[in-house]
Amino acid sequence: METKKHINVVWLKRDLRIEDNEAITNALKSGKRTLLLYVFENILLNDAHYNERHFNFIKQSICDINIKLADYNSKVLSLTSDITSTFNMLQEFYKVDAIYSHVETGLLVTYNRDKEFARYCRNNFIKWNESKNNGVERGLVNRENWFENWETYMNQDLESFHPTENQLLLKDEIEELEKVFAIPSLTTPIETSFQKGGPSTAWKYANSFFESRHETYITNISKPEASRYSCSRISPYIAWGNLSIRQVYKKAVQLKTNKAGKQHIIAFISRLRWQAHFIQKFEMEHTMENASVNKGYHKLKKNISEDYKIAWETGQTGFPLVDASMRCLIETGYVNFRMRAMLASFFTHILWQPWQFATTHLSQQFLDFEPGIHFPQLQMQAGETGINNLRIYNPTINGLKHDPDAIFIKKWIPELAELDTVFIHEPYLMTKLEENFYNFKLGEDYPYPIVDIKENRKRASEILWNMKNDADVVFESKRILKRHTLNDRRRMLRNN
């Protein structure tokens, strides 16, 4: 009987790059022949949090990686299946000695998959080596020394990609494997409003930001239109691993020595830390996917309105900045942080809907959907952590402040574009005479506001502020501070 050849497998997930990829480096260091694998898993293809835009981004990323791998006469084996079936089939052809991947801070469904897969590996005598992902650590019980450890990780040398000759499985070997798997087409739409996936495109965005666009970063970060240029726009590339945080961090630290843009780069670096902090928080308390981290808020009851939800999801609430932000997000997969916060705040406070009712719509629209950011942020904006300041965004005030000439609103709500600016921000202020003058009819050309914002804002504020003093909320707040916050912040909050 022919002896099977021994190989290692790198299981790519949200680390779609070959440079500074510790899983790949460790696999290659073993000296064994190595297969790079990506599985379009059925559990994720069918998960309500995902959208075609995400899978297109992944496909573009794999195609970009394959261009680089062509220099080594290799490519990523990309297939559709579940992970256990994939390795059962692989072992019909090869003896898999070890699997290398990053620890994934993902949805509960992927966490459960990993636990089942770990048992599969033990039962099949396969060593599964998981590397730390972007400084996020599994198994922490508190944040003692977390920041110092994260910074140490960021300052480590970048991992380089240097396979020896024929160390990667060759194209013809991979094409033989493709004959027995379900192989998805990696073709994606050419004309699209979404950012294109792949490390090559990621570095185009990163380099243009570091070269010049960062110079207005702080100035424009809250402006819905100008931020589209002044912000880095690399969040999808970080979310799907086209760039490692360490690559970006090192580039930013180098640039910080340039005094001209130093303040902007420092602000940008702080957000890299912030990103890791929230993913670490989710890693340590995955129940946040379905329930508020502060258990005191589990008693908060809200009546669900399907009509409110549909109006919000389709950009038809009658509040122009809300609707423009939602329509822009649906079309392009991106709005800046302030508009994201406003969308969440409007849904949970002004419409008084549970944040869980918003989660899948937003995750489907965000091209940069990252579970470790998504759920903690939704809860923070909903005011259900007990440790963060309560912010109830007024979309009209935010529009007048951050989009004073209504450039963003006119772009995404063309039915308002011919009105005077004051009415673009508040079309409901028009009299019947003014509607006739503009040949515009409120309720037909654009909806009336679906709620009384002043009344609903007051209700949300009173209920949530009172709940901060609830015994269960206070108890949970102390627990959260002890488990999830850094020493400096704990001291600051105790002293206030």
What CATH code is carried by the domain that includes residue 395?
1.10.579.10
Of 133, 155, 175, the one marking the end of a domain is: 133
Average pLDDT of 175-180?
Answer: 97
Q: In what order do the strands lie in the sheet with 5-12?
A: 77-81, 34-41, 5-12, 94-102, 127-131
Percent of the chain with pLDDT over 70: 97
* DSSP code, position 185: P
Check if the beta carbon of residue 257 is closer than 8 Å to that of residue 237.
Answer: no
pLDDT in tens, 344-397: 999 999 999 999 999 999 999 999 999 999 999 999 999 999 999 899 999 999
Using alpha carbons only, what angle is made at residue 29 by residues 27 and 31, rounded to the nearest 5 degrees? 90
pLDDT in tens, 191-205: 999 999 999 999 999
Average pLDDT, the chain: 95
The reply to whether 325 and 408 lie within a common domain is yes
pLDDT in tens, 328-345: 999 999 999 999 999 999
The reply to whether 253 and 343 lie within a common domain is no
The structure's pTM equals: 0.95
The reply to whether 361 and 465 lie within a common domain is yes
Q: What is the pLDDT of residue 259?
A: 62
Q: Confidence class of residue 487 from pLDDT cuts 50, 70 and 90? A: low
Average pLDDT of 479-488?
Answer: 80
Of 253, 283, 313, the one marking the end of a domain is: 283
Of 257, 283, 309, the one marking the end of a domain is: 283
CA distance 93 to 88: 10
Considering the domain boundaries, does residue 151 fall inside one? no
Average pLDDT of 443-466?
Answer: 97
Residue 427: is its pLDDT beyond 50? Answer: yes
Domain extent at residue 363: 288-495
Considering the domain boundaries, does residue 72 fall inside one? yes
Q: How many domains does the chain have?
A: 3
The reply to whether 346 and 475 lie within a common domain is yes
The reply to whether 368 and 294 lie within a common domain is yes
Identify the CATH number of the domain in which residue 125 sits: 3.40.50.620
Considering the domain boundaries, does residue 178 fall inside one? no
The reply to whether 76 and 95 lie within a common domain is yes
Distances (CA, A) of 113 to 8, 41, 84, 165, 279: 20, 10, 9, 34, 19
Q: What is the pLDDT of residue 269?
A: 95
Q: What is the pLDDT of residue 285?
A: 93
Residue 257: is its pLDDT beyond 90? Answer: no
Average pLDDT of 256-269?
Answer: 83
Q: What is the torsion angle, in degrees rounded to the nearest 10, for the CA atoms of residue 277, residue 282, residue 283 and residue 289?
A: -160
The reply to whether 119 and 37 lie within a common domain is yes
Considering the domain boundaries, does residue 157 fall inside one? no
Considering the domain boundaries, does residue 155 fall inside one? no
Side chain identity at 413, as an amino acid letter? I
The reply to whether 274 and 298 lie within a common domain is no
Average pLDDT of 23-40?
Answer: 97
Identify the CATH number of the domain in which residue 224 sits: 1.25.40.80
Considering the domain boundaries, does residue 138 fall inside one? no
Residue 495: is its pLDDT beyond 50? Answer: no
Considering the domain boundaries, does residue 79 fall inside one? yes
Q: Confidence class of residue 256 from pLDDT cuts 50, 70 and 90? A: confident
Q: Is the dihedral of CA 330, 336, 337, 339 positive or negative?
A: negative
The reply to whether 279 and 381 lie within a common domain is no
The reply to whether 335 and 473 lie within a common domain is yes
Average pLDDT of 221-229?
Answer: 98
The reply to whether 76 and 114 lie within a common domain is yes
Count of CB atoms situated within 10 Å of the CB of 230: 21
The reply to whether 298 and 444 lie within a common domain is yes
CA distance 103 to 13: 9
Check if the beta carbon of residue 11 is closer than 8 Å to that of residue 83.
Answer: yes
Considering the domain boundaries, does residue 159 fall inside one? no
Q: What is the pLDDT of residue 493?
A: 39
